[in-house]
Amino acid sequence: MKAIIEVSAKGSIFNAVRGQISEAKQGHIPDFQLQFETARTLFSELTPARLDLLNTLRAMGAVTVYALAKLAKRNYSNVHADIARLVELGLVERTGDDRVLVPFDAIEIHMLLAQAA
């Protein structure tokens, strides 16, 4: 399964949800979709440090936030805050034994450029 992150117009999230429901009814496991209204918002949420954490976490599998901070060679409190936000966004999951993991094989970011006048 992959996560698809898009920059799309306000209100278009409903089209994505309808598509996911349709796929689920057909027996397909829909990809996880996350939408932002602007590229600025997307990149304020998915900073290079957070993207690096996703990559490191995916490579290592389920680990504690403390172990992730050591692996990433970053301050624990900063990693903890970043992971908390990534959990809120749905890109990271917590396990029952206080570990975190990335449940996706891939993350795709889609952003349409402005149309020429």
Helices (H), the chain: 13-25, 39-45, 48-60, 65-72, 76-89
CA atoms within 13 A on the CB side of 112: 7
- The yes-or-no verdict on residue 30 having pLDDT over 70 is no
What's the confidence (pLDDT) of residue 15?
A: 53
- Going along the chain from its start, the domains and CATH numbers come out as 2-111 (1.10.10.10)
Could you tell me the pTM of the whole model? Answer: 0.79
71 Cβ contact partners less than 8 Å away, ≥ 6 residues apart: 56, 60, 63
pLDDT digits (tens, 9 = 90+) for 59-98: 999 999 999 999 999 999 999 999 999 999 999 999 999 9
Q: Give me the pLDDT at residue 28, please.
A: 58
- pLDDT average, residue stretch 20-24: 52
Instruction: Give me the pLDDT at residue 43, please.
Output: 94
Q: What is the rounded average pLDDT for all residues in the chain? A: 85
